[in-house]
Amino acid sequence: MVKQELDSLNLSVMKALDFFQKNQPPRLNLKKYPFPIVVGSGNAYNAGMAIFSQQKALFANESNFLTILQRYKDLIKNKSLSHAVIISASGEKDSIWEIKAAKKSGLKTILMTCSPQSSAAKLADETHAFRKLPEPYTYNVSTYLGMFIAESGEKAQEIINFILKLKLPRNFKNYSAYSFILPDDWAAIAPMLEIKKSELFGPNLSLRAFSYGEARHAKFVIREKKELVISFGDNKYFGDQKNRWQIKTPKNAGQAWAMAVSYFLIGLIQDSHTDYFRPNIAKFCNDHGYKAYPGAKPFTVIVPGN
């Protein structure tokens, strides 16, 4: 029953793109934060890396944020570092103590969230609230796609048009391993794809992602005929020569495009192989998953939109 209720990742991507085509997120003015500490957990950390990739910034997660605050306290004191941007879809969990710690250190706090009524939003000096749709737990498609579009100004309809024209390799469903290679400018997207591997396939299917620079470092010592190597742009070196799918990127493509297209393709991989995610996500949310967070309650299998 749970399996029938949950969208595959590719369908969530198309729903999110359709939503943002009708509801273009307001542009983010990142110049207001010339040298921030950007903080996030899990994919929020990677999203922060992507959003602030074109400007000076420090990056931290829940494990090293306090260390970062201590290490750069001299820059905070002389106002070279003046802002902490906390990215948290829920505005709960770690974001609460992170905002408190940032304020105590003398930083102005900015929250980027999909939950404007959250505990963190009540504490932050400034909150940017983003729209999102109901989605299966862990997907977070509209969550971060809206933030990416707000930063880049990309048009969702152009991404939809590109996806609808995609022609899959003839044997797309027959591979047991898939790798993505992204341009170096989009390096922050690669770990987001690696996280999807863990969430959707666990140890059961190989899904890897690298920037072009990373791919050079012995990532393809083994050229496996059962691995499809998907590159955004030319790929002359990586993977078996007969099993390379080179996708030409549009001139105006940015990180919203890269996230949406790669997530869509991962959803197609999800649909074409044994379903590992949907039979297991309910137990994760209601049993062993939430217990790793002190005081947390069971997670919602379908996270509500706003």
In terms of pLDDT, which residue wins out, 20 or 1?
A: 20
Looking at the structure, do residues 133 and 26 belong to the same domain, yes or no? Answer: yes
- Asked whether residue 215 is domain-assigned, the answer is yes
Which range among 78-87, 160-169, 291-300 shows the weakest confidence by mean pLDDT? 291-300
Residue 282 binned pLDDT confidence (cut-offs 50, 70, 90): very high
Looking at the structure, do residues 75 and 107 belong to the same domain, yes or no? Answer: yes
Reported as a single tens digit per residue, the pLDDT across 214-254 is 999 999 999 999 999 999 999 999 999 999 999 999 999 99
Bridge partners, 37 (sequence order): 58, 84
Looking at the structure, do residues 182 and 141 belong to the same domain, yes or no? Answer: no
Domain end marker among 150, 181, 199: 150
User: Is the entire prediction scored with pTM above 0.95?
Assistant: no
pLDDT of 180 higher than 60: yes
**Residue 206 in contact with residue 67, Cβ under 8 Å?**
no
Reported as a single tens digit per residue, the pLDDT across 23-41 is 999 999 999 999 999 999 9
Question: Which CATH number goes with the domain that contains 196?
Answer: 3.40.50.10490
What are the tokens at 238?
Answer: 């990586």
- Asked whether residue 290 is domain-assigned, the answer is no
Looking at the structure, do residues 14 and 146 belong to the same domain, yes or no? Answer: yes
Looking at the structure, do residues 64 and 145 belong to the same domain, yes or no? Answer: yes
Burial of 15 (0-12, 13-18, 19+ CB in 10 A): middle
**Residue 232 in contact with residue 244, Cβ under 8 Å?**
no
Residue 293 binned pLDDT confidence (cut-offs 50, 70, 90): confident
Q: Enumerate residues 6+ apart whose C-beta is below 8 A from 241.
A: none
- Asked whether residue 163 is domain-assigned, the answer is no
Domain count across the chain: 2
Closest CA to 256 of 162, 135, 136, 138: 162
Mean pLDDT of 149-170: 97
In terms of pLDDT, which residue wins out, 126 or 292?
A: 126
Give the pLDDT of residue 3. 44
- Asked whether residue 293 is domain-assigned, the answer is no
Looking at the structure, do residues 210 and 252 belong to the same domain, yes or no? Answer: yes
Q: b/e map of 17-44 (b: 16 or more CB within 10 Å)?
A: bebbeeeebeebebeebeebbbbbbbbb
Query: To the nearest whole number, what is the mean pLDDT of the chain?
Result: 95
What is the extent of the structural domain holding 65? 7-150
Give the pLDDT of residue 294. 81
Residue 55 binned pLDDT confidence (cut-offs 50, 70, 90): very high
Looking at the structure, do residues 114 and 61 belong to the same domain, yes or no? Answer: yes
Looking at the structure, do residues 185 and 131 belong to the same domain, yes or no? Answer: no
pLDDT of 117 higher than 80: yes
- Asked whether residue 25 is domain-assigned, the answer is yes
Max CA-CA distance within the chain?
A: 59
Residue 4 binned pLDDT confidence (cut-offs 50, 70, 90): very low
Looking at the structure, do residues 143 and 13 belong to the same domain, yes or no? Answer: yes
Give the pLDDT of residue 5. 77
Looking at the structure, do residues 105 and 238 belong to the same domain, yes or no? Answer: no
Reported as a single tens digit per residue, the pLDDT across 249-270 is 999 999 999 999 999 999 999 9
Reported as a single tens digit per residue, the pLDDT across 121-142 is 999 999 999 999 999 999 999 9
- Asked whether residue 158 is domain-assigned, the answer is no
pLDDT of 1 higher than 70: no
Looking at the structure, do residues 70 and 28 belong to the same domain, yes or no? Answer: yes
- Asked whether residue 46 is domain-assigned, the answer is yes
- Asked whether residue 110 is domain-assigned, the answer is yes
| High-pLDDT (> 70) share of the chain, % | 99
Give the pLDDT of residue 2. 42
Looking at the structure, do residues 190 and 235 belong to the same domain, yes or no? Answer: yes
